[in-house]
Amino acid sequence: MQPLAERLRPKNLDEYIGQKHLVGKGAIIRNMIETGRIQSIILWGPPGVGKTTLAKIIAKSSSRQMFSLSAISSGVKEVREVLDSAKRQTLFSNPSPILFIDEIHRFNKSQQDSLLGAVEQGIITLIGATTENPSFEVNSPLLSRCEVYVLKPLEKADLEELLNRALTQDVVLKEKNIKIEETTALFRQSGGDARKFLNVLETVINAETSDEIVINDEIVSKRLQKNTSIYDKKGEMHYDIISAFIKSIRGSDANAAIYYLARMLNGGEDLKFIARRLVISASEDIGLANPNAMLLANACFQAVNTVGYPESRIMLAECVIYMANSPKSNSAYMAINAAMDFAQKTGDLAIPLHLRNAPTKLMEQLGYAKEYKYAHDYEGNFVKQEFLPEEISGTTFYIPQENPAEQKAKDTIKRLWENKYKTE
């Protein structure tokens, strides 16, 4: 017998649960189906939210033939075979068939490029499904020919509706005596994934042997032996959580940063990846306000490589809390970005002669290194001289920020250079 998730797969929009912003009354995809004006689209969302099902409903509701390819197992050859079949169909004035490509982000550039002409000429209407951000994973020319629609994880109300449908309409479950006492664990384990929710429900029900099947949080937790939390180390969740993690450190919220660290650790994230990001954050977000943060982050990276999990979680936690509570400055980050942009725009300006080396007699005769003043020969190891190309003398890239460490830097710049460089 088919799994519960397959038995309950919706066949039309009225049976489709969730994504009201796309298929609800007056929504864009419902209007597309009702008017028959089907365009090429990319459906972007996490697993189990109905991307494949929605593509099948679009094809069936618009009376179009649907070809399906999986980007995992298909190459350019398979794409061309489908396109040839589609061309024969359009010769008879039939509406263009739909080509559904699951996990389209796994197609390489040449595979994606092979679709361009057919999409542009209307030989096929493309529906691609992806769990990855299309702006990163789909070629710009192909992406420009498609509309992108974002599908969201199912909400609690959606899962409640799905549970009710499973218990009252499924040919197997409606014959059983099932008593629902609690749903918190059941919904939490699904993570907004309809397929996972139905698989968990079926697993729990099949494990019961008594006439009355009771479902509550304790029973669900007991029946599920593994952690089914959603965390794809190569997927969108990976990028979303690391982004929230770094922004929490930057925002000085140690509790939020520790929470996201825990999410990554529970999901099996690469410890070296986390530690590397801490080194980057120490330089980008804390910087000169507390240079010790870089030392600690680098020490943490080395320790993680040496010790490994589970002990390394403590080292990561200490580093995260220290960095979140540290004063922040991005002055070095801003300075190097400004300097690189400025250097790009101004080109290869001549290095002042007195700063150049003079390894040959000719160079010495041409004035290389002449009039250079060796700082250590002067009081306080400092003497005023020009270090920038003449055309940009006095240009400021580094501006100290308002923290105790950089206030000392500001005082030093003012004392040595007076008004030559801006300090605020």
pLDDT, one tens digit per residue, over 304-333 is 988 878 889 999 999 999 999 999 999 999
pLDDT for 110 equals 82
What CATH architecture applies to the domain 331-417?
Answer: Orthogonal Bundle (1.10)
| Beta-bridge partner residues of 149 | 43
Distance CA 99, CA 69 (A): 8
Residues 420 and 412 sit within 8 Å (Cβ to Cβ)? no
CATH number of 19-150: 3.40.50.300
Separation of alpha carbons 394 and 73, rounded Å = 60
- What mean pLDDT do residues 160-174 have? 94
CATH 1.20.272.10 domain locations along the chain: 236-324
Give start-end residues of each CATH 3.40.50.300 domain in the chain.
19-150
CA distance 389 to 407: 27
Instruction: Spell 252-267 as b/e; 16+ CB within 10 A means b.
Output: eebebbbebbebbbeb
- pLDDT bucket at 231, cuts 50 / 70 / 90: low
Average pLDDT, the chain: 89
| Residue range(s) of every CATH 1.10.8.60 domain in the chain | 156-223
Q: Is the pLDDT of residue 234 over 70?
A: no
pLDDT score at 74: 80
pLDDT at 38 (0 to 100): 93
Give the pTM: 0.62
Report the share of the chain in percent with pLDDT over 70: 96
Tell which CATH architecture fits domain 236-324: Up-down Bundle (1.20)
User: Domain 156-223 falls in which CATH fold?
Assistant: Helicase, Ruva Protein; domain 3 (1.10.8)
- Range(s) for CATH 1.10.3710.10 in the chain? 331-417
Is the pLDDT score of 92 beyond 70?
no
Query: Does the pLDDT at position 67 exceed 90?
Result: yes
Structure tokens at 183: 């749903």
Give the least confident one: 121-135, 331-345, 351-365.
Answer: 351-365
Minimum mean pLDDT among 280-294, 356-370, 398-412: which range?
356-370
